[in-house]
Amino acid sequence: MDKFVSGKITLNEYIQRTEGNGVSFYIHYWGVMPQHYNNFPHKHSFFEVCYVLEGQGTYIDKGSTYHIKENTMFLSSPDVLHQIKSDIGLFLLYVGFELIESDSSEKWVTLIEEAKQCSEVVIDVKADEAAPLMWKSLLIQATKIESVLFEEILSNLAHSLILSLIQNFVVTSNCHSQKTVQKKSSLVLTLAKLYIKDNLSNSIKLTDTATHLHLSSRHLSRLFKDELGVSYSEYVQNVRIQRAATLLKTTDLSIRDIAQETGFPDVHYFTRVFTASMHISPGRFRALYTKLKTVIYKD
């Protein structure tokens, strides 16, 4: 246990990004929790995969309850409300990550969209399968900081693990046979999303983005509805919340500064919108997910 905890601390220091074979991932955190009991219902703006080493409990995802036990893996998709419960405690390994679309191939953008649609979010694995073995090896390797090629080995192992985890849920759950054809975003919509991302601290009204792209506001609004199924304003607010969640997890910025950084007019409005969307206040959200050295969690 101590070796795994030590390894996760090193991973959080050295591995915030992995890349290779046409795909890049941003790693929000690596986690090891030897005694995890209950947490509040919450959402992420990214994927999180958990692996149960020991213990029993329940995982609640989209209102469905699943029994989890030793050698269970479960996937939390972006923007999906979920919760973990255990009376006796769980020994969990977990990792939070997201695709870096700008540095990844179209194939991977499509594959990650498929992963978001998978209905099978809990799977049982064997301890000697690739993903569990790699995960444990990665944590052990992270303790060998003085070894030759330490960072290179660590980076390659981490990237292979993420790929293996995605394969477990996308391929094992037969999402290819269940999936509906994903409509690719048009170039105009891609440019609009990029403009929003790059100007998040500003007001970025519909008219501003439309003018930047030399489009009518009506046409741009229709693109968001037709291709993403949400209004322009809903999309912008979702991006603001996702960015705020990332900043809460990965920086020491004050909540007021994060509100400004993500384009909210004041901290009170930010707190209200964030809490309504994530079902947890910004302060509580940060407390749950930034204590990397925590090994016991119980609310």
pLDDT of residue 180: 40
Same domain? 19 vs 140: yes
pLDDT tens per residue, range 174-206: 444 444 434 445 788 999 999 999 999 998 999
164 and 50 belong to one structural domain: yes
Dihedral sign, CA of 136, 139, 144, 147? positive
* Calpha distance 249→98 (Å, rounded): 14
In a domain, 80, yes or no: yes
Residue 194 lies in a domain: yes
Q: Are residues 18 and 165 in the same domain?
A: yes
| C-alpha 96, offset from chain centre | 5
pLDDT of residue 171: 60
At 42-95, the pLDDT tens digits run 999 999 999 999 999 999 998 899 999 999 999 999 999 999 999 999 999 999
Amino acid 294: pLDDT: 54
Weakly modelled stretches of the chain, pLDDT under 70 = 1, 171-185, 290-299
Residues 171 and 196 in one domain: no
Domain CATH for 37: 2.60.120.10
State the pLDDT at residue 110: 86
DSSP 225: I
Q: What is the CATH number of the domain that holds 197?
A: 1.10.10.60
202: helix, strand or coil: coil
Domain interval for residue 99: 2-179
Say if residues 39 and 57 touch (Cβ distance below 8 Å).
no
N- to C-terminal Cα distance for the chain? Answer: 22
Report phi then psi at 95, rounded to 5: -145, 135
Predicted TM-score (pTM) above 0.75: no
pLDDT reported for residue 183: 45
**The pLDDT of residue 182:** 41
163 and 235 part of one domain: no
Q: Are residues 122 and 198 in the same domain?
A: no
What is the tally of structural domains in the chain?
A: 2
My answer on whether 73 and 94 are in the same domain is yes
The pLDDT value recorded for residue 185 is: 53
Q: Are residues 104 and 10 both part of a single domain?
A: yes
Size of the chain, expressed as the number of residues it contains? 299
Domain boundary among 179, 202, 222: 179
- Distance from C-alpha of 28 to C-alpha of 281, rounded to nearest angstrom: 19
DSSP for 110-137?
HHHHHHHH-S--EEE--TTSHHHHHHHH
Q: What is the CA radius of gyration of the chain?
A: 20
What span, in angstroms and rounded, lies between the C-alpha atoms of 185 and 189?
6
